[in-house]
Amino acid sequence: MDLLNTLVEKGLRRELPTREEALAVLATSDDELLDVVAAAGKVRRQWFGRRVKLNYLVNLKSGLCPEDCSYCSQRLGSKAEILKYTWLKPDEASQAAAAGVAGGAKRVCLVASGRGPTDRDVERVGKTIEAIKEQNEGVEVCACLGLLSDGQAERLREAGADAYNHNLNTSEATYGDITKTHTYADRVDTVQKAHAAGLSACSGLIAGMGESDEDLVDVVYALRDLDSDSVPVNFLIPFEGTPLAKEWNLTPQRCLRILAMVRFVCPDVEVRIAGGREVHLRSMQPLALNIANSIFLGDYLTSEGQAGQADLDMIADAGFEVEGAGTTTLPAHRADALAAASGGCGSHAAAEGSGCGSQAPAEGAGCGSHAGGGCGPCGGHAEAPAEAPAAEAASNTARTDLVAVRRRGAGTDLAPNA
C-alpha cells in the first residue's frame, strides 16, 4: 500500500504523518491488518530493535478517590468490588517493587488514587522512592499521583524519581464527557510541570471509551505536541460497578490498528501496551509486540493481568528479548535531550546504546491511575457514542470472564503476580 510505504518512510525520518494518513490507518480493513502491523514493525525496529521493556505497577493507595472519572474502578461512587486501602508504608512498597524487579521489570511505577498529592504525600512517596532504590540497584521509578502543584515535580525529582505519568486519556473535545471534577487543561499542565522539572514525561490514552477515530487521532497528536517520552495505550476494561460496565467496543484487530497509528505518529517514543491487553488483544498480544516496545509485567492496579511467567514466555516465543537494566530505552537523540533537561548523562548510541547508571532517566513509563486514568485498567467512559464500524463493534463479544479483580500483591497478604 502506498499509504503504508509513506508512513514507514516518515517514521524512519521522525516526520509527522498527516491527520488524513493517521485516520486512514484506523480505517484499514482486516485483510490489510498484517500489512499494517508489518509496516509499524519496521518503524519500531528502527528505534527500539527487538527489545521489550518490562514495567511493574505498585498501587500505593487503592480506591477512595474523590474524582468522578467515569472509566475508573476507583472513582467516586464506584460499586466495583476492588481492594481499598490507604498508603502503603515505604518498606511495604519496596517489598512489592522487588517482586517485579526480580521478574525482570526495569521500571517500577508508583501509583496512588486521588485528585493529587499533598506536600505530605510527596514526602511520603519520596521516602518510598528512596527505599526502592536502596534495595533494588539500577531500578527506574515513575510516580503517578494525580495533578501536581507547583514545586512538587521538583521534589519528586530530588527524591530520585525518573519519570512522572499523567495521561490525557482522550481528546480535548470529549474530555468533559468522562470527567467533571477536573479539566483536560489541568492534565496538560501536570505533564508540562513534570517536563519542566526534568522528569521524563509519560502520558497516554484509553481506547474503547466510545470515542471516534478523530478523537483518537486528536489525543495522539496532542501527546506528540507535549513531547511525551512514553505513550501508554490502555484499552478500557468495563468493570462491573462503573458507568460503562456494558461497553465492549474493541476487537483485537481494532486494538492493533490503534497501536499502529500511535507508532506512526510517535515513531521514536516508548509505546506501551498497558491495561486491558489481555482482555481485548487476547491471543493477538504477541503480534502487538511488533508495534509496541513495552508492556506491564503481571497485574495492574485493580485487576489481574496475565501471569508474569506467561508474559516472559510470550516475549521469547515471539522472537523478542527483555530489555536489560544497562540499556537505554530511548534512541540517542531523545535520551540525550532528556539528560540535558534533567542534568544527567545521555546515551551515546542508538536504540541499543547503554545508559549511564541507575539514576539515569530514560524514557517515561506509564503508571496506572486514580483521578484521571493511567496504565492500569479502571472502568468506563461516559456519553460519547461509539463510532467504530458497525460490523467490527458487533463482532466483539463481551468477555467478562477475562476481567478479574486483583486480590493479591500490594495491599494484601498474598504474593504478587510477577
What is the C-alpha to C-alpha distance for residues 313 and 319, in angstroms, rounded to an integer?
A: 10
Supply the pLDDT for residue 397.
83
- Lowest mean pLDDT, pick from 66-75, 141-150, 215-224: 66-75
**Does residue 323 register a pLDDT over 60?**
yes
Supply the pLDDT for residue 389.
46
What is the C-alpha to C-alpha distance for residues 3 and 7, in angstroms, rounded to an integer?
A: 6
Q: Is residue 345 annotated as involved in ligand binding? A: no
CB atoms within 10 A of CB 390: 9
Q: What percent of the chain has pLDDT over 70?
A: 86
Residue 255 catalytic? no
Hey, is 206 helix, strand or coil? Answer: strand
Q: Is residue 334 annotated as involved in ligand binding? A: no
Q: 15 or 381: whose pLDDT is higher? A: 15
Q: Is residue 356 annotated as involved in ligand binding? A: no
CB atoms within 10 A of CB 160: 18
**Does residue 23 register a pLDDT over 50?**
yes
Going by their DSSP bridges, the two strands 205-207 and 294-296 should be labelled as: unpaired
Supply the pLDDT for residue 348.
36
**Does residue 394 register a pLDDT over 50?**
no
Options 75, 142, 334, 356, the catalytic residue:
142
**Does residue 41 register a pLDDT over 60?**
yes
Q: Look up the pTM and report it.
A: 0.88
Rounded mean pLDDT of 116-126?
96
Residue 65 catalytic? yes
Q: Is residue 378 annotated as involved in ligand binding? A: no
Options 44, 124, 187, 202, the catalytic residue:
202
Residue 109 catalytic? yes
What is the C-alpha to C-alpha distance for residues 400 and 406, in angstroms, rounded to an integer?
A: 14
Structural class in CATH, domain 17-354+361-402: alpha beta
Supply the pLDDT for residue 372.
37
**Does residue 152 register a pLDDT over 90?**
yes
For the stretch 203-246, pLDDT in tens is: 999 999 999 999 999 999 999 999 999 999 999 988 877 777 88
Please report, for the chain, the start and end positions of each structural domain, with discontinuous segments joined by +.
17-354+361-402
Supply the pLDDT for residue 218.
98
For the stretch 238-272, pLDDT in tens is: 887 777 788 899 999 999 999 999 999 999 999 99
**Sign for the pseudo-dihedral over CA of 50, 359, 372, 182:** negative
For the stretch 179-188, pLDDT in tens is: 889 999 999 9
Average pLDDT of every residue of the chain: 86
Q: Where are the beta strands (DSSP E) in 193-318?
A: 200-202, 205-207, 230-235, 270-273, 294-296
**Does residue 331 register a pLDDT over 60?**
yes
Options 263, 272, 277, 406, the catalytic residue:
272
CB atoms within 10 A of CB 402: 15
Q: 415 or 318: whose pLDDT is higher? A: 318
Q: Is residue 72 annotated as involved in ligand binding? A: yes
Supply the pLDDT for residue 395.
56
Options 51, 75, 109, 254, the catalytic residue:
109
Measured between alpha carbons, how far is residue 165 from residues 6, 42, 352 in Å?
A: 32, 27, 24
For the stretch 332-375, pLDDT in tens is: 999 999 988 887 544 333 333 333 333 333 333 333 333 333 44
Residue 72 catalytic? yes
Q: Is residue 157 annotated as involved in ligand binding? A: no
What is the C-alpha to C-alpha distance for residues 276 and 380, in angstroms, rounded to an integer?
A: 12
Q: Is residue 69 annotated as involved in ligand binding? A: yes
Supply the pLDDT for residue 238.
87
**Does residue 392 register a pLDDT over 70?**
no
E strand or H helix that includes residue 107: strand 107-112
Supply the pLDDT for residue 197.
97
CB atoms within 10 A of CB 225: 10
